[in-house]
Chain A
Amino acid sequence: MANQKLAMVIDAPTCLDCKGCLAACKVANNVPDGKWRNWIKGADPERRASSPVVFQPGNCMQCDKPTCVEACPTGATYKNQADGTVVINRTLCIGCGQCLAACPYGARFKNTDLGVADKCDFCAERRKFGLEPACVSTCPTKSRKFGDLNDANSEVAKLLKANRAVRVANEQTRTDPNIYYLGEPGPTNWTVQARMPEAFDFWRRLADPVVKAVVGLSGLGVLAMLGKQLAMPKDAPPADGGAHEEAGHE
């Protein structure tokens, strides 16, 4: 079977900012209190005289050039070649938090219940049982559409073929995201420049090959070793890099 390219195509102007997708995700994925795997940008708008306000639903963009994967010292975060999602292997994740700062969308958080990085995985568990991602299925206005862009007959592929779409990206950090916005996308100035780990090159040169190789063999001992050395950084300050829209799929 051909590889999938799972994506979301979101019709932001139809979002009511009702928080249904946030609630559904939180329950479906046992997301801890105070943390969220998805969001609605531009919520609670200040008053504007005219023209409808656009709320922008989103979540991890499952990027094709994911900076989080680059930043991960253990290989716990990787691009799943089978379906295109960016995945966190919880066994390998040491909770170092470098991927959090490396994401231009702030899509990741530390799951305090589990001590690992966490983020949207397009509801991998639900998909396994043939269910749509929780946010997609619950959405009142069906603003969020989900499917495989490699399947020309999928709703998302058809929508992208028939409509102009944009992706939200950070100017300094291009990651080739897999969330597309139909029409007016709403706020685009909220992304941040990815902050790659300070000792990134050092670790990459030294630890990365070793870790990846050893992890493949024995795993846990190495995690313990690394866990001692790498501390969770503080919340990343917002970078000054502005965001822009880029043209979507042809």
Chain B
Amino acid sequence: MTSSLDQKISRRGFFKLTGAATAAAALGGSDSALKPGAAQAGTRLKPGFESKYTVCDMCFNKCSAIARVVDGKVQKLDPNPKFLKSRGMLCAKGNAGVRQQYDPDRLKYPLLRVGARGEGKWKRLGWDEALDLAAEKMKAIGEKYTRCGFMFMAGADMQSTFIHRFAKAYGSYNTLSHESQCLIAGTRAFLDTFGEVPIPDMLYAKYCLMMGANRFEALVTPDSIDMMTAMKQGMKLVVMDPRYTKTAAKAHEYYPIKPHSDMAVMLAIAHVLIKEGLYDREFVAEKTYGLEQLAKHVEPYTPEWAATESEVPAEVIVKIARELGAAKPAAMIYPGRRSSNYRDSTQVRRAFAIVNALLGNWDRPGGLTAARMVGLGGGVPLEEPFYENNPADRVDAGRATLMFPEEGSFKLARDAVLEANPYPVKGFFCYHSNPMQTVANRAKTARMFDQMEFVMVMDVAMSDTAWMADLVLPSQYYLERLDPCSAQQGSSACACVVMRDPVVKPMFEAKPVFWVMRQLANRLELGEHFNFSVEEFRNAQLKDLPGALEALQKDGVYYNPSKLYGVYEGRIYKTKSQKIELFNQRYADMGLDPMPVYRKPAQPEADQFRLVVGRNAVVTQSSSTSNSLLMEFQPTNHLWINPAAAKGLGIEDGDWVKVASPAGKQWIQAKVTDMTRPDTVYMETGFGVLSPQLAAHGRGACIAQVLVDDFDQISGNMAMHETFVTVSKEAA
């Protein structure tokens, strides 16, 4: 038996022994109902089993999948071979979805907090009681603090659209998503260069330089798969990362770059491309704005200078620039996804975008292609009511220069709430997101909840955020739900629509969030905004896509492919100059650096390390770390520390160490490895769980507890790699 299983049993045993009656009641229910096929160990399928399309919800990729159902229970999830975006695959997490469905730790009915916040004392409520209470609180808070005094947060979920809709109907501008923990700096940078966020045409690339991304572990469809196919077809992959990731292991060349020096390398590559005339002269002359300024700007950024900043040798930088130049336009700097790294992450990613522009790879095979909308409608239109006494703007407005109003910034909104500036926010509803685990500075998030008058969380399990709530609502798992259609943005090659029909009957008293929003709307006299069913919403979404519903039912996915390359012929770019902006005029007007300026970043002191975070192919942050199958791969996280650094601190592999920053401290076991630099320590996200109702409780350390909450000054994205920690061999 594995140690992970032993620990899990002892955790369950803990409840029994300590008689934590209310918590145990919440866990109750028959375990036998939760083990499909247990009676027939070793077999899963029976003649006459059903195969039903679904859409995986184990991460944001939303891969189409086929559920094999026997006697009303999901036995196996298989990939949908017709789903081109995933290249017909289902990863380990996707396969583990079955375990989540039948997880004994699922929330079963509404729970009301009866002890102190975070104490874990709950009382079971009926749905009517729970919804009456929620509606009453929403009404009272809206009246007392204006409607913007209630904040909404929704994760990447196919029903999240209904939370945004509800917030608008209710009258709050304050909606948050997961995006400000993730990708908005990169989005900002590419928007402000190309006028849109491109899709890499990885499949046909001949050369790829990857920095700030770990695409063979943090799987993104189709990039992760196409990258391997492209390599098989001869693409060269060069990886720069402070950490020896599996992407690094699979690369042709790997360089352990010093953290926060990506911009230096990128500017030096631009320097070489321009100086040696290796950029695409015709493309740059015709389609871009600001070459002259850029040439002057990058003049001092020599490879030799960049080498001292990045510890990537100058000759390597020169060689890479030449190789990129030779392989162009089918050569790319991978744009990446998560860019929640530094205070200047937008500018770092702008440097990536600019080098791509110099390579002339835009709108061409093997380069960056235009994203294409598949044409899915917005569903049932909403007539947004107007509330006179509402404040002028979001609570976090103006705290970063160029924020996305629809995403906001969790970090900046939290600051605003804690300061009650410009106005108080006293209510919070969170669906399918877990800021207590994912947002830097957990103590601050807890303080934000402390000052709330009402916190409601809806999820499938008692997440750390749910653990802090006043009212916890059990959500249906994705395999139980009828969801609206979801458009998957992609290049023309794989832009598509997916939808979700229930595969099995809902368990316990779990409900979809649509139903909750509708019930609350009815109670708050907002029922006219939710006067439809999910099917009707879906039909409205599909009204301009004839044949889509039939295709979805037949194939589990709908495509309408069109021209993939050259779509920008005769089109203008959505920037001020209407061209690709090497020099961003709008930034100049706003007093921002119009081209990325490298400012020597702070470095850890001799007794400190830079903490970097990430994940691998069996972890999707905190939503997956309690999955019984995925836990077998990764039962906990470790602190990766370089042998030289560990030796100096007397730390041996497996030792418990204290990791401390100004934000907080955690204890974690060290993994002594040369897979991280001597100045950099690393841990995976999703562990150090507070909620004892999750299997990951008591395992590893939580990034949110030790990360300092800095932010990208332009987009408001969280900056998660600005934290310096001390590491010591010290008992808890």
Contact = CB atoms under 8 A, between A and B. Distances in A.
Nearest to A116: B42
A46 B228 contact: no
A28 B232 CA distance: 30
A50 interface: yes
Nearest to B90: A138
B311 to A, nearest CB: 14
B462 to A, nearest CB: 22
Contacts of B202: none
B629 A45 contact: no
A182 to B, nearest CB: 11
Interface of A: 13-14, 16-20, 22-24, 26-30, 32-34, 45-53, 90, 111-114, 118, 125-126, 128-129, 131, 134, 137-142
Interface in B88-120: 89-96, 98-99
A17 B254 CA distance: 18
A141 B78 contact: no
Interface of A is mostly: loop
Contacts of B617: 16-20
Nearest to B226: A141
A142 B232 CA distance: 12
Contacts of A140: 86-87, 89, 91, 219, 224-225, 228
A33 B95 contact: no
Nearest to B43: A125
B423 interface: no
B523 interface: no
A48 B224 CA distance: 21
Interface in B1-57: 1-2, 4-5, 37-38, 40-45, 47, 49
B2 A131 contact: no
Interface string B247-258: 001111110000
Contact of B44 (A29, A51, A53, A118): A29
Interface string B66-98: 000000000111110100001101111111101
Contacts of A112: 1
B173 to A, nearest CB: 40
A18 B244 CA distance: 15
Given A29-B44, A33-B1, A45-B249, A22 B232 contact: no
B528 interface: no
A28 B93 CA distance: 14
A46 B674 contact: yes
B633 interface: yes
B632 interface: yes
Given A47-B675, A134-B78, A139-B89, A29 B42 contact: yes
Contacts of A30: 37-38, 40-44
Contacts, number: 147
B249 A141 contact: no
Contact of B91 (A18, A27, A113, A134): A18
B37 A24 contact: no
A19 B86 CA distance: 16
Given A23-B91, A47-B674, 12 more contacts: A16-B216, A16-B228, A18-B617, A33-B1, A34-B632, A53-B249, A118-B42, A128-B45, A138-B95, A139-B89, A140-B219, A140-B228
Contacts of A34: 1-2, 5, 632
A27 B249 contact: no
A27 B76 contact: yes
A34 B76 CA distance: 19
B680 to A, nearest CB: 13
Nearest to A139: B89
29 contacts: A14-B228, A16-B246, A18-B91, A18-B216, A23-B633, A24-B76, A24-B92, A26-B629, A27-B629, A28-B76, A30-B37, A30-B40, A30-B43, A33-B1, A34-B1, A34-B632, A46-B673, A50-B252, A51-B252, A52-B231, A111-B41, A131-B45, A137-B78, A137-B79, A138-B78, A138-B94, A140-B89, A140-B91, A142-B89
B229 interface: yes
A123 to B, nearest CB: 10
B183 interface: no
B618 interface: yes
Nearest to B232: A14
A128 B47 CA distance: 9
A172 B384 CA distance: 77
Contacts of B79: 137-138
B216 A24 contact: no
B42 A114 contact: yes
Contacts of A128: 45
B249 A52 contact: yes
Given A27-B77, A34-B632, A47-B244, A125 B44 contact: yes
Given A50-B253, A137-B79, A33 B632 contact: yes
A138 B2 contact: no
Contact of A23 (B232, B246, B252, B629): B629
Interface in B600-618: 617-618
Contacts of A142: 87, 89
Contact of A19 (B37, B87, B618, B674): B618
Contacts of A24: 76, 78, 90, 92, 95
A128 B115 CA distance: 55
B633 A16 contact: no
A20 B37 contact: no
A131 B78 contact: yes
A48 B255 CA distance: 11
A10 B43 CA distance: 26
A52 B90 CA distance: 24
Nearest to B86: A140
A114 B38 CA distance: 11
Contacts of B99: 27
B636 to A, nearest CB: 15
Contacts of A125: 43-45
A53 B250 contact: yes
Contacts of A118: 42
A141 B38 CA distance: 31
A33 B9 CA distance: 12
A9 to B, nearest CB: 15
Contact of A50 (B229, B246, B254, B629): B254
Contacts of B675: 46-47
B321 to A, nearest CB: 19
Contacts of B81: 137
Given A14-B228, A137-B79, A141-B229, A20 B254 contact: no
Contact of B41 (A20, A46, A48, A114): A114
Interface in B213-243: 216-217, 219, 224-225, 228-229, 231-232
Given A30-B41, A125-B43, A20 B250 contact: no
Contacts of B246: 16-17
A85 to B, nearest CB: 16
Nearest to A143: B228
Contacts of B44: 27-30, 125
Contacts of B76: 24, 27-28, 134
Given A24-B90, A28-B44, A134-B76, A129 B49 contact: yes
Nearest to B633: A19
Contacts of B250: 16, 52-53
Interface string B644-664: 000000000000000000000
B280 to A, nearest CB: 29
Contacts of B232: 13-14
